[in-house]
Amino acid sequence: YDANYSSHMRDEGTYILDQGDYYLTVATDSHNATNNILTAKGYSVENTDGRMDADGNAALVHKWTQEAFDATTYAVSANGTAIVNQLSLADPNLYEGTKGQNVTWLSRNDWTGTYPSDEQIVLKLTELLIADLQRSRYNPADYETVEMPTLGAENGLKLYDLMGLDYNDPKWDTLLDQLTFDEMVALIGDSFHWRMPAQSVHAPGSRDENGPQGLTVALFGSSLGVETTAFTSEDVMAATFNTELMYQAGKLIGNDCLAADVSCLYGPGANMHRMPYGGRNFEYYSEDGFLSGEICAAEVKGIQEKGVDVVIKHFALNDSEQDRIGLGVWVNEQAAREIYLKAYQKAFEKSGANGVMTAYTRWGAVWSGGVKGLMTNILRKEWGNNGMSITDNVITPMVTGADGVLAGTTTYDAMLPNINNELPGYENDPVIVSAMREACHHNLYALANSSAMNGIGKDTTIRVKELPALVAVRTAMIVVWVLFAGALVLWIMGKKKWKKTEAYLDYQTLKNTLKQEKKADK
């Protein structure tokens, strides 16, 4: 690329093409590519002051000229949605440095002047930064008044009736009116390796399991009698450069899921390899967004052809495994879209991927699953996704229910019950309840079009029933608490009775004597 780089993407707020000459070459490596392009421009080893280490091959170079600046051709997504900046909250220049300094982004137009220095940028803890760092950023005053959605209607529809219908079909509103508030809480907040059933709409539950390299058999009990394939790590998958092979591998993974009665796979992984020591590199394809996207799209296509949902992880910027919970990542819009989101984008736009698993990371100061620009404006609107968006295992209070559903996160992989404890507090808040309804819409839409519906017919009735083991555990816990309470009462009564005895008075006298002697010794 030989055009003058400018700040047009930031100024225009969308994809642009600068005026100038663009060069494309086939080469074995970056040095070879440089040699080819400089040779095509008429340079040689003798007149480039060391920029070339050998003469290149101009025949392997194609030159294309952009006659005029263009801010419209690539300013819409594949589905026709206008592309505008959505991720400015991850730009540290949104905030204020303690010394008034700004971050200078590296520019190909001025490598020397923009190359990162050793100076650290320290941000002031301003009111804006404090607000963005809050556990929950939801403020009812920021939202227009809405009516409370209908709950618990008896419209007679079953999820089966919605199979194959478009996401925006009017029947979905009729079905969603049947949900109760408690069912919505369960569908959103109680999804630790499963999706809960909903009796009011006769939606079955489903088992969901981990598997960036195929279904992880270690999580299954031997009683299931299931054997699954352990595929190679994703970096080796990407190193094949073979999309047909990965499509076939995806179909095998889908078959494994069907055999194990798993209808949603927590995978593949599609983050970038930022360095060789990345803790999850074996679950991510490569350092290249284009290659990762092509391989991911092929694998996803194969898996989903079997009716198995995927949630591609960890969306997004999970580039450090150590201390990843709450890690603030700073990045500009162009780098985010052209590198870190590219693999996800291809899987959605080429293969109709079902959904994502969000990362623990923050975009700047805001948790990934709470960034509406990412979860709704890019994922849903630009890329056209209508499936579910599940969190990574909720083991931290940083992940919040209200902010998540408002931003577009629909399901919580919650080992801890804080989401189920949080959402009931919004039962009378029509803004949050409306967002919960939309989240359930995405969840049920994904479920209706997945293998979870295998064996479900128009006359199938879903009844939610607790397993005997759960009833036994709950009963045992109640008995333990009753016994504890009884023992506590007896202990208190015994202590009161003890205080009335001569032995207790003798004990108190001895205690006071010892205290006086100790004081005298000092």
Beta-bridge partners for 328: 362
Residue 415: per-residue pLDDT:
67
Nearest in space to 263 (alpha carbons), one of 317, 318, 303, 315: 303
| Alpha-carbon separation of residue 217 from 191, 223, 253, 260, 274 (angstroms) | 19, 12, 12, 9, 29
Distance CA 450, CA 108 (A): 46
Distance CA 196, CA 466 (A): 12
Main-chain phi, psi angles of 389, to 5 degrees = -130, 110
∠ CA 387-306-185, rounded to 5°:
35
Burial class (CB in 10 A: 0-12, 13-18, 19+), 346: buried
Residue 6: per-residue pLDDT:
41
Burial class (CB in 10 A: 0-12, 13-18, 19+), 331: buried
Residue 222: per-residue pLDDT:
47
Return the exposure string of 120-158: e unless at least 16 CB atoms fall within 10 Å of the residue's CB, then b: eeebeeeeeeeebbeeebbeeeeeeeeeebebeeeeebb
Distance CA 177, CA 154 (A): 8
| Alpha-carbon separation of residue 467 from 183, 193, 219, 471, 474 (angstroms) | 18, 17, 20, 7, 11
Residue 10: per-residue pLDDT:
53
Residue 217: per-residue pLDDT:
67
Residue 462: per-residue pLDDT:
84
Q: What is the DSSP letter of 340?
A: I
Residue 315: per-residue pLDDT:
94
Contacts by residues 469-477 (CB-CB < 8 Å, ≥ 24 positions apart): none
Distance CA 212, CA 89 (A): 29
The pTM score is 0.85
Q: Which residues of the chain have pLDDT under 70?
A: 1-10, 217-224, 415, 467, 470
Residue 219: per-residue pLDDT:
61
